[in-house]
Amino acid sequence: MAFVQLPRYPPFDTRSDGIAVRWTKWVSRLKNNLFVAYDITNEARKKALLLTYAGPDLNDIVEALGDESPFDKLVSDLNEHFNPKVNKEIQRYQAVIPRFDKIFAEFGIPDELKTDNGPPFNGIDFKTYLEHMGIKHRKITPCWPQANAETERFMRTIKKTIKAAQVEHKNWKQEMFKFLLVYRTTKHSSTGLAPPNVLFNRVVKNKLPAAPIQTDPINTCIRCNDAAAKAKMKHYADCKSYIIIKRSDIQIGESVLVKQSDKTKPTTPYEPIPYVVSNKKESMITAKRHNKSITRNSSFFKKSPRPPTFEEEEREMAETESDPQPEELESAAEPEPDSSAVPAVPAPIPHQLSRPRRTRKMPERFKDFSMKR
In the predicted structure, residue 323 carries a pLDDT above the cut 50: yes
> Which helix (H) or strand (E) covers residue 75, if one does?
helix 71-82
**Better-scored residue on pLDDT, 36 or 97:** 97
* 259-265 mean pLDDT: 82
Q: Which of residues 164 and 45 earns the better pLDDT score?
A: 164
Most confidently predicted of 89-103, 208-222, 309-323? 89-103
Please determine, for residue 332, whether its predicted confidence score (pLDDT) is greater than 50.
Answer: no
pLDDT of residue 5: 66
CB 182 within 8 A of CB 157: no
> Residues with Cβ < 8 Å from 137, sequence gap 6 or more?
112, 113, 115, 121, 127, 130
Q: What is the pLDDT of residues 217-228, one digit of tens each?
A: 667 788 888 899
Determine the average pLDDT of the residues in 10-16. 75
Q: Is the pLDDT of residue 325 over 60?
A: no
Q: Quote the CA–CA distance of 170 and 164 in Å, as a whole number.
A: 9
pLDDT of residue 241: 55
Half-sphere exposure in the Cβ direction for 160 (13 Å, CA): 8
Q: Mean pLDDT for the chain?
A: 78
Say if residues 130 and 137 touch (Cβ distance below 8 Å): yes
Burial of 367: CB neighbours in 10 Å, binned 0-12, 13-18, 19+: exposed
What percentage of the chain carries pLDDT values higher than 90?
20
Q: Does residue 245 register a pLDDT over 80?
A: no
Compute the chain's Rg from CA coordinates.
Answer: 42
41-45, 54-58, 277-281: which is most confident: 277-281
Average of per-residue pLDDT across 295-299? 90
For 96-110, 165-179, 321-335, which range has the lowest pLDDT when averaged over its residues?
321-335
Q: What is the dihedral of CA 26, 32, 35, 37, to 10 degrees?
A: -140
The pLDDT, as a whole number, for residue 262 is 79
In this prediction, residues 72-90 reach a mean pLDDT of 69
Please enumerate, as own/partner, the contacts of 221-224 that have beta carbons within 8 Å and a separation of 24 or more: none
Q: Which of 316, 282, 317 is nearest to 296 (CA)?
A: 282
pLDDT given at position 267 = 85
- Give residue 57's pLDDT band: very low, low, confident or very high (50, 70, 90): confident
* pLDDT for position 163: 92
Q: What is the pLDDT of residue 36?
A: 73
Q: 28, 33, 51, 31: which is closest to 41 by C-alpha?
A: 31
pLDDT one-digit tens code per residue, 133-150: 999 999 887 777 777 778
Once rounded to an integer, what is the mean pLDDT over residues 109-129? 87
pLDDT of residue 331: 46
> With pLDDT > 70 as the criterion, what percentage of the chain qualifies?
77
Predicted confidence (pLDDT) at residue 44 exceeds the cutoff of 70: yes
Q: Is the pLDDT of residue 1 over 80?
A: no
pTM over 0.85: no
Q: Is the pLDDT of residue 64 over 50?
A: yes
Q: What is the pLDDT of residue 313?
A: 63
Whether the predicted pLDDT of 191 surpasses 60: yes
Dist. CA 137–CA 112, nearest whole Å:
6
Q: What is the pLDDT of residue 196?
A: 86
Per DSSP, what are the bridge partners of residue 285?
280, 296
Give the mean model confidence (pLDDT) for residues 319-346.
50
Specify the range with the lowest mean pLDDT, choosing from 103-107, 134-138, 360-364: 360-364
